[in-house]
Structure 1
Amino acid sequence: MMSKKQKEQWLRVSTLLAETPEGMSIQALLDALAALDISTKEADSKTVAPPRRTLQSWLKKWVEQGLLNKTGSRRDIRYFLSHSAQPAPNNERSMTAALKLSAQQEPPQKAFPFSTTSLDCIKEINKPTIQRKPVGYNYDFLNHYRPNSSAYLSASEQAHLMQLSKTHDSGPLPAGTFARQLLHRLLIDLSWNSSRLEGNTYSLLDTRRLIQFGAAAEGKASIEAQMILNHKEAIEFLVGAADDIGFNRYTLLNLHALLADNLLDNPDASGCLRKIPIGIGKSVFQPLEVPQRIEACFEQILATASAIQNPFEQALFALVQLPYLQAFDDVNKRVSRLAANIPFIKHNLMPLTFADLPQDIYTDAILCVYELNRVEPLKEIFIWAYERSINHYQVARQTLGEPDAFRIRYRQELKTLVSEVVRNLLTKQQAYAHIKRWVNNAIPEADQQQFLEYTETELLGLHEGNFARYQLRPSEFNQWQNKWVDKKAPNA
């Protein structure tokens, strides 16, 4: 039985999760609940966002009761509303209606900590297009920027981000060292978030299975899988060529070619600067049309970016100026988001994954650059998103946490299934199909999703130092590992 207070919070949490099919982290839930307090003026009542530890405890109980599903572990945990759960019991419909009404009345920007200046900019670009003055490319916006003299980020903001991003205490490391250490996770997080900002509907779990097992999500358009796989290839290129990448033609053109592969109407435009006029949907901004001018501005952007010494200023400059030029037929924003990670890869700083950033907020900030040449909203998003990425990539763990009750409950089943995959010498593609059939037949429906996640994690983390716990012989493990590693999953 839930207490009255817990029932009130369950209604709020379940309503949020019902409207967020991709799931939410505990921090995202806390932020959304806090924003809800403000937007519905509940801060003056007894229903306010609970402390983090209290919410953690309630979420754990709701998972155990089958009301919620959970994926991931520790800082990667995301919560989903169970199919059997009801976000709005009949006797509380009025409260749910109030929540939905407030969400309709308040623009999404209210939930984001924008400054008054940024909100004024966003208000301007949210006016109907007929009320906004058409504008073209402003050369002065680029020409007036002087590397290491002009700056989008203040000195204190640069220092703050640098302090947050320290990844090691020793001397300088070779370029790309840190990115290679977390490549497995970076491929998934950055591919998913950058694709999500383009409207891609893959969930985080769908993205993980696509990247790790080559398994496309059922019922999704093939173009969505292609977009994510292109991100994977592009990130691998940046990390693998860490010594050679930079703000130069080699890096940016190849980055575009990888991100745009099989996605452009004209395949020959992949990796090439734009030679045709384009328009920006829902915007009164008209990009440059003359190819020679596009080429000249592109070279100027590269030269300016290369001269910037601070890696955070360099990253933000790329996020601002590359989309503004629209140097390519399409995929410009994707290029800018991955290019923003170039200085972080080269300097062994924490990456920028755009975790939890709402698509509509990012779009508004970009439109402020296009139509007003104002960078404040995008700068505030950049700082917020980078702090968010830091939280997702903390290396030091303060606590180990409680033993995993789910793992204890299904310890024998996990051992049996992992052993079968190894002994049968299954490839990643074969293993995914086998696991799915096995789970459907042997695991209760309410636990199937989480059990799938655990099994995949176990297989991907299997190495010579831990396979003995599955009662496998060295010869069995070695034969399987050679096939598992060498066999590449086909593109979805």
Structure 2
Amino acid sequence: MTQTQASSGVQLSTEALALLQVIQNAGPQGASVAQLLAQLPGLSRRTAQRWLAQFVQDGRIAATGVRRGRRYYSKLPSPSIAPMGVAEPAAGGPQAATQLQLAPDALEVRDYVLQPLELRKPVGYQRDLLESYQPNQTFYLPATVRRQLHAQGRTLEAAAPAGTYSRAVLNRLLIDLSWASSHMEGNTYSRLDTRHLIEEGTAAQGKARFETQMILNHKAAIELLVDSVSSLEPGEPLWSRYLLMNLHAALAENLLPNPADEGRVRQHAVEIALSVYRPISAPQVLDELLDMVLLKVNAIQDPFEQAFFMMVHVPYLQPFSDINKRTSRLAANGPLFRANLCPLTFVDVPVESYAQAMLGIYEMGRVEMLRDLFIWAYERSTQEYTAIRQNLAEPDPLRLTWRKLIKETVHAVVSQPGADAVALVEQAVNAPEAAVPEVDRANVQALILDELRRLHEGVLARYGLRPSQWRAWQAAQGI
């Protein structure tokens, strides 16, 4: 059972962390004790009240009202998710101008994991998700997406030795990635607090010791990763047990109940709070599968596919007693550092969206929601690190070749509000009259789903659609 430190310095059990998560999920309306206990039937009222009082005292949550009218609220921001087709400005300044939007297949994942726990089928680790993945033949990120990411992340150091760009931006990278990844774990340090801690060694007043430790651990882990990438010989594999274990150890220092778990494959079972997923518990099986993860990720040629593979398979396997997701987020940057691409900082990533995307992998073995989040997050990261381009990007050759089919299929999907969008796209691409070569079908299908994800009122004429048709389709999709 995983634990972490509370802001008071005591250890939080998985149940206590689950209570904090339920409060955060309650949103701005907050929740009463009765509502919290209804979602955590195994938790006693007395224990819940004791934890709630401690959380309020520590500043983790806020409370209003008295006795039966008392309600509890999360102090952490709960960024909203704009489903596909909705693009309203989000609060937070110039870098928060566009909300995350989800394609229809990603919405299927979101809708499933938003169901109550009792409606979701308990599931264990499915080896086939890893074993069936064939590097450079299987792709989580379609070719058109990979081309888009390469265009966004390209730097002037592309031909320089591995790690040149990450070293050039290291000072800013340490602040952005340490702050954003820690924020996703509930850390309340501001970016300015993080900057003072990293640059001056000054801990923010009123913050818990474990929050300060978490930031410093990220700094150490990022420096380790940059140094490791920079020392690689041409053709040398990036990932080894040595690097992954030491990356985890750097992130975990002084944060685990048992220090012996730092940088070591876990020797005990763990649970995922608020999930029906049950990870593998046998250490020898974890060892075997971790070796397979490292073997396959090293065989992947595209750095973005390699990065995404680590974001999927490290948390899914849960090789460590805790801090698996943090490890995967930093590990995702290794291939980008090596290729001198812009880093993935996770700045502004909606915490709830990320949690739901991970549940989709844990409970469904589906990556679509994490894929959309990855694409969106990387675009925002590159906005932080690259100047505005002066020239238009080259047209995507696949989009150019199949532009007629793409437009017709988008029109057909939106014109049938009650139909299964994913099924319609698949049917159109595989139709004999479409004449799409088998090797291109998955990528063309992904292109169409991407067009649907980005659909808005300003481009409807391109597809021969009227605003009323688009609104009807949005309503039918629950958007």
- Matching of residue 228 in structure 1 with residue 215 in structure 2: yes
- Matching of residue 199 in structure 1 with residue 191 in structure 2: no
- Matching of residue 302 in structure 1 with residue 294 in structure 2: yes
Which letter maps to 1:265?
P
| Alignment correspondent of 1:288 | 280
Q: Is the 8 A contact 2:76 2:186 kept in 1?
A: no
- Matching of residue 215 in structure 1 with residue 202 in structure 2: yes
Pick closer, same or farther for the CA change 1:276–1:211 going to 2, 3 Å: same
| Alignment correspondent of 1:385 | 377
The 5 Å alignment of 1:354-433 reads 354-395=346-387
| Alignment correspondent of 1:140 | 128
From 155, 159, 168, give the equivalent of 2:147.
Answer: 159
Q: Give the Å deviation of 1:118.
A: 1.1
The 5 Å alignment of 1:170-189 reads 172-189=159-176
Q: Give the Å deviation of 1:23.
A: 9.8
| Alignment correspondent of 1:410 | none
Q: Is the 8 A contact 1:22 1:204 kept in 2?
A: no
Q: Is the 8 A contact 2:109 2:366 kept in 1?
A: yes
Q: Give the Å deviation of 1:111.
A: 5.1
From 270, 273, 294, give the equivalent of 2:265.
Answer: 273
From 97, 103, 107, give the equivalent of 1:115.
Answer: 103
| Alignment correspondent of 1:319 | 311
Does 296-305 or 171-180 show the bigger shift?
171-180
| Alignment correspondent of 1:128 | 116
Cα distance in 2, alignment partners of residues 35 and 237 from structure 1: 36
Q: Is the 8 A contact 2:158 2:339 kept in 1?
A: no
SS of the residue corresponding to residue 224 of structure 2 reads: helix
Q: Give the Å deviation of 1:22.
A: 8.7
Pick closer, same or farther for the CA change 1:296–1:49 going to 2, 3 Å: closer
SS of the residue corresponding to residue 341 of structure 1 reads: helix
Q: Give the Å deviation of 1:302.
A: 0.3
| Alignment correspondent of 1:338 | 330
Q: Give the Å deviation of 1:316.
A: 0.4
Q: Give the Å deviation of 1:21.
A: 8.4
Cα distance in 2, alignment partners of residues 253 and 283 from structure 1: 26
Q: Is the 8 A contact 1:22 1:203 kept in 2?
A: no
| Alignment correspondent of 1:408 | none
Cα distance in 1, alignment partners of residues 135 and 147 from structure 2: 17
Cα distance in 1, alignment partners of residues 127 and 242 from structure 2: 24
Which letter maps to 2:202?
A
Q: Is the 8 A contact 1:147 1:304 kept in 2?
A: yes
Cα distance in 1, alignment partners of residues 370 and 189 from structure 2: 25
Q: Give the Å deviation of 1:298.
A: 0.3
Cα distance in 1, alignment partners of residues 364 and 294 from structure 2: 22
From 138, 148, 151, give the equivalent of 1:150.
Answer: 138
Cα distance in 2, alignment partners of residues 255 and 395 from structure 1: 31
Cα distance in 2, alignment partners of residues 389 and 346 from structure 1: 17
Cα distance in 2, alignment partners of residues 297 and 259 from structure 1: 22
Q: Larger Cα Rg: Structure 1 or Structure 2? A: 1
For structure 2, the 5+ residue unaligned runs are: 1-72, 391-479
Which letter maps to 2:340?
N
Q: Is the 8 A contact 1:354 1:386 kept in 2?
A: yes
Which letter maps to 1:206?
D
Cα distance in 1, alignment partners of residues 297 and 343 from structure 2: 18
Q: Give the Å deviation of 1:241.
A: 2.1
Pick closer, same or farther for the CA change 1:202–1:253 going to 2, 3 Å: same
Q: Give the Å deviation of 1:397.
A: 8.6
The 5 Å alignment of 1:97-116 reads 112-116=100-104
Which letter maps to 1:316?
F
Q: Give the Å deviation of 1:171.
A: 6.7
Q: Is the 8 A contact 2:82 2:102 kept in 1?
A: no
Pick closer, same or farther for the CA change 1:183–1:132 going to 2, 3 Å: same
SS of the residue corresponding to residue 374 of structure 1 reads: coil
Cα distance in 2, alignment partners of residues 23 and 368 from structure 1: 22
Does 376-385 or 239-248 show the bigger shift?
239-248
Q: Is the 8 A contact 1:365 1:377 kept in 2?
A: yes
Q: Is the 8 A contact 2:125 2:317 kept in 1?
A: yes
Which letter maps to 2:144?
S
Q: Give the Å deviation of 1:220.
A: 1.2
Q: Give the Å deviation of 1:121.
A: 1.1
Q: Give the Å deviation of 1:172.
A: 1.9
Cα distance in 2, alignment partners of residues 215 and 355 from structure 1: 22
Cα distance in 2, alignment partners of residues 173 and 346 from structure 1: 10
* Length-normalised TM-score, structure 1: 0.59
Which letter maps to 1:185?
R
Q: Give the Å deviation of 1:250.
A: 1.4
Q: Is the 8 A contact 2:100 2:376 kept in 1?
A: no
Q: CA deviation digits over 1:376-426, x for unaligned, max 9? A: 00000001000110000014698xxxxxxxxxxxxxxxxxxxxxxxxxxxx
Q: Give the Å deviation of 1:239.
A: 1.0
Q: Give the Å deviation of 1:112.
A: 2.6
Does 370-379 or 126-135 show the bigger shift?
126-135
For structure 1, the 5+ residue unaligned runs are: 1-18, 60-74, 80-109, 399-492
Q: Is the 8 A contact 2:158 2:340 kept in 1?
A: no
Cα distance in 2, alignment partners of residues 133 and 141 from structure 1: 18
Which letter maps to 1:127?
Q
The total of aligned residue pairs comes to: 312
Cα distance in 1, alignment partners of residues 155 and 318 from structure 2: 34
Cα distance in 2, alignment partners of residues 23 and 223 from structure 1: 20
